[in-house]
Copies of this chain bind each other. A is one copy, B any other.
């Protein structure tokens, strides 16, 4: 399938078959080019605009390499097919033409983003969603004054999105719920896993989780308790094998017969003690949070199904170890 080539008038949206959805990628560094791959792999028509000529020039080669390396994720889609759907635009207007989604991935500078989003809001189609890849700047800081602010939100990917599917969706208080719903549907349609962040806080949630773990690692290294290599091994040859299949909450849910409430009843004191030692002003394992977690875990998995799920987990960890040995 190389439909990208059959468009009669490449510079216009008119000849695109109705089933071909179109995205504009603005900024084509590591993140932008990875987004281009995500959308093109899912069958979208992709137009990329980047300010720097060398970035534009190298785009196809960079996507080609990434697509070849990522082939196991979508074995039925040839890299050539993906490339055929990606066009480098000569102007922002050309890139925006007919796009129902605009993904901005330029530098982390609030002034640059504010100017760009003002432009995007003026020039993009009225129905287009305007999404930013920012990892740290809420849309309130660059889109509040825009007439079309209801369709602006943050869609912050992991690096790189064509390999790691989770995307933090961070609406501003002014983002419409319709736009949020449409944004979730679009992310799912291109194979990503959108999760909702209900507050525009520094680091959103993804980097807060990573930051909490890194901060503890830094403390352990600073205090001479463990070397950097060993502390990395604790995750790589430890929890990482489990977290490739299950989040940490479901992970501990499977490690006590009664689930996460049982687990925290046994070991919660330890987490409280550590948090206190690191400066936390109040206990972190409260009856309220335990009830919330147990409720969420049991809604997802009844307690009597825990043993089956443990067997599920174990088979997958064994397979991952075999894969690691194979790729060593």
Contact = CB atoms under 8 A, between A and B. Distances in A.
A300 B205 contact: no
Interface in A180-211: 193, 195-199, 201-203, 205-211
Given A234-B206, A249-B232, A296 B227 contact: yes
A243 B245 contact: no
Contact of A203 (B245, B270, B314): B270
A197 B220 CA distance: 10
The interface size bin for chain A is 35 or more
Interface stretch (A44-52, A63-71, A89-97, A171-179): A63-71
A290 B188 CA distance: 38
A258 interface: no
Interface stretch (A79-87, A113-121, A124-132, A316-324): A316-324
A186 to B, nearest CB: 17
A314 B232 contact: no
Interface stretch (A3-11, A16-24, A161-169): A161-169
Contacts of A71: 318
Contact of A72 (B158, B206, B222, B318): B318
A198 B231 CA distance: 12
B72 A267 contact: no
A1 interface: no
A237 interface: yes
A238 B166 contact: yes
A213 interface: yes
B316 A327 contact: yes
A297 interface: yes
A23 to B, nearest CB: 21
A163 B207 contact: no
Contacts of A275: 211, 215
Contact of A202 (B219, B229, B274): B274
Nearest 7 pairs of A and B residues by beta carbon? A232-B247, A279-B279, A240-B243, A212-B216, A72-B322, A195-B230, A228-B296
Given A232-B249, A279-B280, A323-B323, 11 more contacts: A70-B318, A164-B237, A164-B238, A193-B233, A202-B270, A207-B270, A209-B213, A212-B278, A229-B296, A236-B246, A320-B320
14 contacts: A66-B314, A69-B314, A75-B322, A209-B239, A210-B239, A211-B216, A214-B252, A219-B284, A228-B293, A236-B244, A240-B247, A245-B324, A320-B320, A320-B323
